[in-house]
Structure 1
Amino acid sequence: MSTPVTEDEREVVARQLGRPPRALVAVAHRCPCGQPDVVQTAPRLEDGTPFPTLYYLTCPRASAAASRLESAGRMREWQDELATDPELAEAYRAAHEAYLAERDAHDVLPTRATAGGMPDRVKCLHALAGHALAAGPGVNPIGDRAVAEMGQWWAAGPCAVPARPDDEEPA
C-alpha cells in the first residue's frame, strides 16, 4: 500500500539513490527496518518525459541483492522457464497487465512500455522485485522469486536515515 512521502522519507530516498529522486509519488513498500525500499514514481518525469518504471527499488542493499541474482544468471534461468511453463507464463502475463493498469490509472504513456521485460522476458530483477514488494506476494511470480532469493537485505539495519538538526556540524 502506497503512502504519501514525507520530507524525511524524501531525504532518505535521496541518500539511498545518491541523488534527488525524480517523479516521486509515494512510498510503495518499507523494508522491515522501517525505511522505504520501494517508491512509486509518476509515469512521466517532471519535464514530461515518459518514465515507465512505476515502482523503483531504492534501497542500495536490496538493489545489490537483485544485482547479485542477475550476475548469477537467474534472469536467464527464469526466462528459459517462462518458455516451458505455461502456468508461470500466464501468471507473469497477468502481472504485466496488473502493472500496466495501475500505471495507466495515473497517466497513459504513448507506448505500452513495461518494466522488467514483462510479459515475455525477464530483463530487470530490480524492477520485478520492486513490483512484487509494492503489489504484495502472489501478483508477480518472477518478482516474488527474486525477493525470496534476495535474502534479508535489511538485517544490518537501515541503509539510510534522515539527517537530524543535532547531527549537523556547527557553522
Structure 2
Amino acid sequence: MSDTDREVVARQLGRPPRALVGVAHRCPCGQPDVVETSPRLEDGTPFPTLYYLTCPRASAAASRLESAGRMREWQEELATDQELAAGYRAAHEAYLHERDARDVLPTCATAGGMPDRVKCLHALAGHALAAGPGVNPIGDRAVEGMGEWWAKGPCALPDGGTDGDGA
C-alpha cells in the first residue's frame, strides 16, 4: 500500500488506519473507498472484517440505507427467497475462504452477519465492491442503493483536508 493511499485512508477515517493490507477497491474518483485489513490487528487481536469501507460519503450512503430499514427488509427476504439465501451463503463461503487464506481466526464470524443475518450494510457493501458484482447479492443491493457517492469528486483533498461535505 502506498504512503499516499495510507494518508488518504487516514483522512477518510479521521484516524490512523489499523492492520492495513492494501486497497481493495477504488472509487471512480480514483481514491480508495474499501481497504483490505488483516484478520488480526497488530497486537494479534482477531479482526474479522476483511474489507472495510473507508470513504465517508460511501459510509454515509450505507448508513442512510440502514436508517431507511433496508437491513430489515432484506433480512425478511432472506427467509423466503431460496435463491437469495443461497447466493448470500455462497458469499459467506467466499469471504471465509479469502480471509482464511490470510489467517484462520478462532471463530467463523464474518462481516455483515453472513450467512443468516443482514447486520451491517457497510461491511456488505465493502465486500461487494472488493469482490466485484455478483459475489454478494445483499452487498450488491447495498452498493446499488448507495447511489453515486463519488459524484462530487474526491472526499479527501490533496492538501490533507476534506471537502466539507460530510467527508
TM-score bracket, shorter-length normalisation: over 0.9
**Which of the residues 149, 152, 158 maps onto 2:154?**
158
Report the AA paired with residue 7 of structure 2.
E
Post-superposition Cα deviations, 1:105-141, rounded to whole Å, max 9, x if no partner, equal: 0000011111100000000000000000000000000
Does 2:17 match 1:24?
Answer: no
What is the count of residue pairs matched by the alignment? 160
Corresponding position of 1:45: 41
Q: Deviations over 1:134-165 (max 9, x none)?
A: 0000000000000001000000000003447x
Work out which of the residue numbers 114, 125, 128 in structure 2 matches 1:129.
125
| Counterpart Cα distance in 1 of 2:124 and 2:72 | 14
In structure 2, what residue type is equivalent to 1:57? L
The reply to whether residue 88 of structure 1 matches residue 78 of structure 2 is no
Other structure's SS at 2:124 match: helix
TM-score normalised according to structure 1 size = 0.92
RMSD: 0.8
The secondary structure found in structure 1 opposite 2:39 is coil
State the one-letter code of the partner of 1:14: A
**Contact 1:38/1:59, CA 8 A, preserved across alignment:** yes
Provide structure 1 residue ranges, at least 5 long, that are not aligned to the other structure: 165-171
Q: Which has the larger radius of gyration?
A: 1
| Counterpart for residue 119 of structure 1 | 115
The runs of 4+ residues in structure 1 deviating greater than 2 Å are 161-164
**Corresponding residue of 2:94:** 98
Percent pairwise identity: 86
